[in-house]
Chain A
């Protein structure tokens, strides 16, 4: 037992284990299968928030188009499931059996070429991981190689999210339009609509989330993570040190895109449909608040942020629908102005020291999530941002007046 706890301490896993206990033990025991499915849905947003922690918190790249990648992942999975659901036997009443119902309603007589490969499950899985990365790569190369960043990047990614939504809604025959792709039934013959299946999917989702969390932690702790932070703070100096800044940015943006897409695919599996309402500018920017509330520098904070905001959204919308937008708006303003480090920051500054009073010093590592030898390592960047020097100010403005050389 001692050996295990010292291992946990050395690898600083205490917070991971607490989260794992919450997700894998507390939630399934405490909630009925309907609520558990809902928590599973919230957790799919945690993937996007995690991606944002990487690219926004650490890389300093705020993308307002993460919904695009969530959507790509979701739509890839939905296309595969839809093709399986529309086998010729299931769709024999259509004028063209064997194609998805919405295509039939839109007078399409054969499957469009880009739907064909989604008959294969292997292709779908690869597509979920690779397509968003390719898309992110194209955007990243175009923008970062020209040193476009900051607010310009935010505006362009937001425009891309808007374009994709209009496109999906406009091309009803190919995409299911505003209703999205609905009526998904089975995955390789396994009915995903039963309670039992939903519980299994919840655990699969949780496991995938932990894989991504560990991957993110690995990235952040590697040299790459250090470079990202350095770039965020003083891009010029990193560039002058001989690093190719843009390729690091492109990498982290692609990684965030793939992680978001996994969330999208799991969303489709658990909720049973995918529609453009999860792609557009509104949901995309909402996903940023999950990350901001959790703490933009905290990978576990992303999970808590997604859970808290969505839980609040559901309970508000159930009882006081008109209050929800006020609460959401206040949350945006409050998080940004009062505690830019989010829940993680609150925990570190107030809750952890308070909790420490009740436990012997020997066990403080459980609360801080750090090993005893290591020096406390606070995210300094945001503290610094509050009182920037004149030089800092200038460089921010330089970013704004921007681009091109």
Chain B
């Protein structure tokens, strides 16, 4: 099948396909980061994570509409940053509300959290459908995100893709730093490792739980915001990614951020490279199947804390 292409063409095809994989990778990482915090740190399965992401996307969509109709055109270029911050706080606040009303009663029953959050995701989906309609919506990109950047004659990469990737890197580093260095991060890890001791030294564990959950949801909101750069948003878009994202998190070793990034990279690259050779659906089947088989052989994932059971 390669006979028809020249060497240069092949290289550029692989480069472009690799870049498409990198965009998928960015979306995976952003979604998985929030999930890794909620699932990896707190042990809570949040099936509504995709819907939190879509909420971020809708917030971005609304912000862009407000900017284009009420504010001078010169400001439109900066709407995305405002939208991202808004998305973070809106989804974070909703996350805190959900934690307070539902999740905190179910910490002892992880499987039940899964069912309750699934119910939440159904409600959120229907809300989106009622408010925004069943059709997918997209945002108009500001001028500076349009177009593409030509590396060579044959290889062109879209600027919005580059932007999303840079954003992903910044957010990942910020989250990693926060978990390692900040007061909340240290408290979270303390609570995860030993709840009674953490409480005994004066950490308000309930507050930490709520903030951690809110933070995870907030990051999902940012992910949704970034998602509008590369795709359009519909009420059920979150559902499409949730299975993949959970696999990414589990495959990476649930409590390791590095593992999450590494596994997002592996899965997205494998999928987009195979998409070139096979049909899209078969590429996805093979990728997911490989991940599931690896997980069956090595259930602790790629990177995991050594612990004794």
Contact = CB atoms under 8 A, between A and B. Distances in A.
Of A152, A282, A398, the most chain B CB neighbours within 10 A belong to: A152
Q: What is the interface of chain A mostly: helix, strand, loop, or mixed?
A: helix
Interface in B103-130: 105-106, 108-116, 118-126, 129-130
Contacts of A403: 299-300
A328 interface: yes
Contact of A333 (B43, B119, B282, B299): B119
B108 A396 contact: yes
Contact of A322 (B122, B129, B195): B129
Nearest to A163: B288
A388 B108 contact: yes
Contact of A160 (B122, B255, B282, B292): B292
Contact of B122 (A148, A162, A163, A332): A332
B246 interface: yes
Interface in B60-111: 102, 105-106, 108-111
Q: What is the interface of chain B mostly: helix, strand, loop, or mixed?
A: helix
Interface string B266-309: 00000000000001011011001101100111111000110101
Nearest to B125: A325
A148 B298 CA distance: 10
A160 B109 CA distance: 23
Contacts of A385: 108-109
A169 B281 contact: yes
Contacts of A148: 299
A310 B56 CA distance: 33
For the side of the interface on A, what is the size category? 35 or more
6 contacts: A151-B43, A151-B111, A160-B292, A163-B288, A337-B106, A396-B108
B105 A337 contact: yes
Nearest to A141: B296
Contacts of A152: 250, 299
A167 B283 CA distance: 10
B196 A390 contact: yes
A62 interface: yes
Contacts of A340: 109, 112
For the side of the interface on B, what is the size category? 35 or more
A359 to B, nearest CB: 35
Nearest to A148: B299
Contact of B118 (A142, A285, A393, A400): A285
Contacts of A331: 119
Interface of B: 43, 45, 102, 105-106, 108-116, 118-126, 129-130, 195-196, 239, 243, 246-247, 250, 254-255, 279, 281-282, 284-285, 288-289, 291-292, 295-300, 304-305, 307, 309
B122 A151 contact: no
A237 interface: no
Of A331, A332, A390, A404, the most chain B CB neighbours within 10 A belong to: A332
Contact of B123 (A282, A288, A325): A325
Nearest to B301: A403
Nearest to A403: B299
B123 A146 contact: no
B296 A142 contact: yes
A170 B123 CA distance: 30
